[in-house]
Structure 1
Amino acid sequence: MLKLLYVASEVAPFIKTGGLGDVAGSLPKALSEQGTDVRVVLPKYSSIAQEYRSKMKKIYSGIINVTWRKKYFGIDELKYKGITFYFIDNEDYFKRDGLYGYKDDAERFVFFCRAVLKMLPIIKFWPDVIHLNDWQTSPVSVLLKLEYMYDKKYQDIKTVYTIHNLKYQGIFPKAVLNDIVGIDYRYFENGDFEFFNNINFMKAGLLYADALTTVSKSYAEEIKDPYFGEQLDGVLRRRSDCLTGITNGIDQDEYNPQTDPFIPVPYTVADALEKKIENKVVLQKKLGLPVKRNIPLIAFISRLVEAKGIDLLIRILDELLQYENVQFVLLGTGEYKYQEWFQNLQWRFPTKVSVNTTFDNKLAHQIYAASSHLLMPSRYEPCGISQMIALRYGSIPIVHAIGGLKDTIIPYNSHTTSSGNGFTFPHYNAHELLFAIKRALEKYNDIIMRRRIIKNAMSSDHSWNKSAKQYRDLYKKLLKKE
């Protein structure tokens, strides 16, 4: 049986800030179901809920060196839904509010990576493959090749490194390399870590891992181009023969309108159109919007940052709300200037707009179930999860055809076979976004066509089964197994 150690800085349901946490919570489960002996390791953050912390079992306490620093190193174990999870414990590093954004993030995650490798003989688990995710885990592949290269038990372990978002790279001052990572400066001078006179953890991860993946096929191609490459496109072109795009899935048990405990009126593809209207009425009452059964309800569920296409929305929403009979619901937090603009929009259109600048998972489920459409005009999108959740709930995505959005949303075509599960626009342009919304609204007014596109959306298969098989094939290829 193939043995896999999956390493991530966040894992749902224990702790998450975004898509990485969702993937790390779902992919190992799918891999296990396909016959992989998979274990997962993450930091033991103090913000992990007590319902999980109370069930953890302490299996080791000791000391680990982070260069000259001697640090407490604990391992807690928890078996959850058939998977064994390990939590690396150190309160100096992980008893804090939030997960990232501290001045000592380099030290925190170097400690974590060193602990991951030191943990293997303690838990008596020697993986065939270690699967790493984003910059916080990249030192594992470096340390494995530079510090453990002569240890026979570690020599045959292969590493896979997944880029979830190339923008976040782990860039730190040059001194961190020797003082914290514990690597000689010649690995700066040879370019392995060097990045405009700083060091770059992600760059090192891209160079030292045995295989690279990212979270959609289109994004794997886009990041080799300077426009999307975040100044690492040269490294990615150099290693393009090792780079594979594998599109993420979603947990179809968690996102199931037939059994979802968060939505007022459950439904299936057979009765989705009628039951979505009932969910919409409940949501309109909850959010203080006028109850209008037949009005399109357009949703935007996202972080409020420039990369999510906020600037395009700002350019078109006034015109859309003035001239179209629609309602608009926003859920998300982010930059203050964007939150303020949307609050002002709600003030100007109180009967058409509901702005909810918070994180509320229950409300998110209710919006997916109630909305007719979901907007995702992202400037770039490595994969995207919201559009796949929206499909599952029959909320029709309107997206910029980029990255994972291009791979998962097929433009609806009523003139040929009535195929497609959403609406797309090809160029990052406010007018094209507006025209795509208007095309979608035209189809909304045709009940037969609306029922057909909802069926297409809800019939889309974005479970983890296909993706997990692709990952297993990649692992086996690395190990030269059939």
Structure 2
Amino acid sequence: MIKILYVASEGVPFFKTGGLADVAFSLPKELRKMGIDVRVVLPKYNSMNNKFKDNMKLIKSINVPVGWRMQYCGIEYLENENIPYYFIDNEYYFKREGGYYGFYDDAERFAFFNRSVLEMINHIDFKPDIIHCNDWHTGMIPVLLDAHYRQNPAYKNIKTVFTIHNLKYQGIFPPEILGELLNLGMEYYNQDSIEFYGAINFMKGGINHSNVITTVSESYAQEIQYSYYGERLDGLLRSKKDILHGIVNGLDYDIYNPQTDKNIFINYDKDSLENKKKNKMYLQEYLGMPKKDVPIIGMVTRLDSMKGLDLVIHVLDEILSKDVQMVILGSGNPYFENIIKSYKDRYKDKLSINIMFDNSLAHKIYAGSDMFLMPSKFEPCGLAQLIALRYGTIPIVRETGGLKDTVASYNEFTCSGNGFSFTNYNAHDMLYTIERALKFYQDKDVWNQIMKNAMSQDYSWKNSANVYIKLYEDLL
């Protein structure tokens, strides 16, 4: 049986800021169903629910080198939904208010976490064949493994996989941390290791020192090899193209299932689409909007330029001049929050603005909307369009990254396709695509066919987990 130690900086149901947390729960769950002995390692943040903290078992307390100091590390264990979890505990680094990242000492916090994961292997009854690392927060594990542990027979044959979830965030820090925090010599301060324009780059370390690199969609794997998407690592990624694989993220079909979802008003499936229409009426009532049979365009998004909010704002008056209603749920950049809020009074009956994150409301929007707008500037994979497809809410997307790989524009001649898409990052191209979707919405037979196309596709983790297993087997 293949043994995988899956390392991430966050994971559902313990803590979440983005899509990585969903993947760190759903992929290991699917791999275990398929007979892989996968175990997950996470930092023990303060914000975890007490019901989990109370059930943890301390395996061992050890000391971990961080530069010239030895720091306390508690190794704690918990099993949840048949997945074994290890938590790295150090209150100085992880017992903090206000999120998980963005602190002045993030370099030290995650240097400690990376070193602790490797030290932990000496103290648990699990010797992995592969350590699967995710994003910059775990990027130094392959580097430190090569630098400090390869001489130890217990570590000699361990392979590493590094997954890029979002290349934009790389963990770039001053060069002084090389010795002060990482216990590395100057031989690692070069472009074939972790040096990056006079700094240290955790993401680059993961890319350079891992046996295999993956990212979260086939299109994104191609895009990041070009300068527009490559965030100054495109040259390195082109040189690694033989070991770079794009594997699209899946969706947890247990959590996102309109037949069983307790967050929505009425359950339904592709054979009971009349109940989806009832969800729409209840959503209108819930949000205080007029109950009218007009198309609802939903957005559940981070309010950020990466998500295409500048395009939306540019033509929002034109969208709302049509016979539609629109629901936006999300928070983010105060600039976009304030602009969007300024539209509220002008379009009281047409626009519902919800500046927050509310998981229950998000599910209601997925179920009650007719269309889902996602005009991202770039999108490594994207979860929202997969949820929308699952709920028969037709995505309108820009053709980039995972959006391009999962949404096929409707073809009226073949009746194929599960959504609508546009290529250029242009507000009027987006507006034209929305108008095209609205035209087809008027023909109920056509629209029902598009909804059934969307709900008939399988974007569960099953297919992607099989690709990961093949990759693991080839690596070993």
TM-score by length of 2: 0.99
1:91 alignment partner in structure 2: 91
CA distance in 1 between partners of 2:63 and 2:189 (Å): 28
2:75 alignment partner in structure 1: 75
Say if 2:324 is the partner of 1:298.
no
CA distance in 2 between partners of 1:155 and 1:473 (Å): 22
Say if 2:474 is the partner of 1:469.
no
Deviations 1:205-226 (A, max 9, x none): 1000000000000000000001
Preserved CA contact (<8 Å) 2:64 2:116: yes
CA distance in 1 between partners of 2:388 and 2:150 (Å): 46
* SS of equivalent residue, structure 1 residue 152: coil
Task: Write the letter of the residue equivalent to 1:396.
Answer: I
Q: Which of 380, 396, 400 in structure 2 is aligned with 1:398? A: 396
Deviations 1:30-77 (A, max 9, x none): 111111001000000010111211211111122222121221100111
Task: Write the letter of the residue equivalent to 2:406.
Answer: T
1:310 alignment partner in structure 2: 309
Task: Write the letter of the residue equivalent to 2:2.
Answer: L
Deviations 1:294-336 (A, max 9, x none): 11010111111111111110111111111x1001100111010
* SS of equivalent residue, structure 2 residue 48: coil
Say if 2:332 is the partner of 1:334.
yes
Please report how far the alpha carbon of residue 191 of structure 1 lies from its aligned counterpart in structure 2 after TM superposition: 4.6
1:35 alignment partner in structure 2: 35
Give aligned-pair identity as a percent. Answer: 52
Deviations 1:16-38 (A, max 9, x none): 10100000010001111111001
* SS of equivalent residue, structure 1 residue 174: coil
* SS of equivalent residue, structure 1 residue 424: strand
Please report how far the alpha carbon of residue 449 of structure 1 lies from its aligned counterpart in structure 2 after TM superposition: 0.7
* SS of equivalent residue, structure 1 residue 76: strand
Say if 2:243 is the partner of 1:242.
yes
Q: Cα distance 1:457–1:190, how it changes in 2: closer, same or farther (>3 A)?
A: closer
Q: CA RMSD in A?
A: 0.9
Runs (5+) with no aligned partner, structure 1: none
Please report how far the alpha carbon of residue 450 of structure 1 lies from its aligned counterpart in structure 2 after TM superposition: 1.0
* SS of equivalent residue, structure 2 residue 46: coil
Deviations 1:392-440 (A, max 9, x none): 0011000001110000001111112x01100000111111100110111
* SS of equivalent residue, structure 1 residue 256: coil
2:122 alignment partner in structure 1: 121
Say if 2:227 is the partner of 1:226.
yes
Q: Cα distance 1:278–1:125, how it changes in 2: closer, same or farther (>3 A)?
A: same
CA distance in 2 between partners of 1:271 and 1:445 (Å): 19
Deviations 1:176-229 (A, max 9, x none): 111111111231145522212111111111000000000000000000001110
1:435 alignment partner in structure 2: 432
CA distance in 2 between partners of 1:472 and 1:191 (Å): 29
Q: Cα distance 1:288–1:190, how it changes in 2: closer, same or farther (>3 A)?
A: closer
Say if 2:417 is the partner of 1:420.
yes
CA distance in 2 between partners of 1:306 and 1:181 (Å): 34
1:167 alignment partner in structure 2: 168
Task: Write the letter of the residue equivalent to 1:199.
Answer: I
* SS of equivalent residue, structure 1 residue 74: strand
Say if 2:131 is the partner of 1:133.
no
2:341 alignment partner in structure 1: 343
Preserved CA contact (<8 Å) 2:192 2:208: no
Task: Write the letter of the residue equivalent to 1:305.
Answer: D
Runs (5+) with no aligned partner, structure 2: none
1:186 alignment partner in structure 2: 187
2:377 alignment partner in structure 1: 379
Deviations 1:419-467 (A, max 9, x none): 1100000111111100110111111111101111110111111000110
* SS of equivalent residue, structure 1 residue 155: coil
Runs (4+) off by over 2 Å? none
Deviations 1:325-365 (A, max 9, x none): 00110011101010001101112111100111101101100
2:60 alignment partner in structure 1: 60
CA distance in 2 between partners of 1:185 and 1:375 (Å): 49
Say if 2:154 is the partner of 1:153.
yes
Preserved CA contact (<8 Å) 2:298 2:369: yes
Please report how far the alpha carbon of residue 121 of structure 1 lies from its aligned counterpart in structure 2 after TM superposition: 2.1
* SS of equivalent residue, structure 1 residue 153: coil
CA distance in 2 between partners of 1:110 and 1:205 (Å): 13
Of 458-467 and 55-64, deviating more is 55-64
CA distance in 2 between partners of 1:287 and 1:387 (Å): 22
Deviations 1:89-109 (A, max 9, x none): 000000012100001101111
Please report how far the alpha carbon of residue 285 of structure 1 lies from its aligned counterpart in structure 2 after TM superposition: 1.4
Please report how far the alpha carbon of residue 170 of structure 1 lies from its aligned counterpart in structure 2 after TM superposition: 0.2
Task: Write the letter of the residue equivalent to 1:217.
Answer: E
CA distance in 2 between partners of 1:460 and 1:339 (Å): 34
CA distance in 1 between partners of 2:184 and 2:357 (Å): 40
* SS of equivalent residue, structure 2 residue 232: coil
Task: Write the letter of the residue equivalent to 1:63.
Answer: N
2:108 alignment partner in structure 1: 107
* SS of equivalent residue, structure 1 residue 65: strand
For 1:271-286, what aligned pairs fall within 5 Å after superposition?
Answer: 271-272=272-273, 274-286=274-286
Task: Write the letter of the residue equivalent to 1:365.
Answer: H
Q: Cα distance 1:409–1:188, how it changes in 2: closer, same or farther (>3 A)?
A: same
* SS of equivalent residue, structure 2 residue 362: helix
TM-score by length of 1: 0.97
1:22 alignment partner in structure 2: 22
Please report how far the alpha carbon of residue 281 of structure 1 lies from its aligned counterpart in structure 2 after TM superposition: 1.4
CA distance in 1 between partners of 2:352 and 2:261 (Å): 23
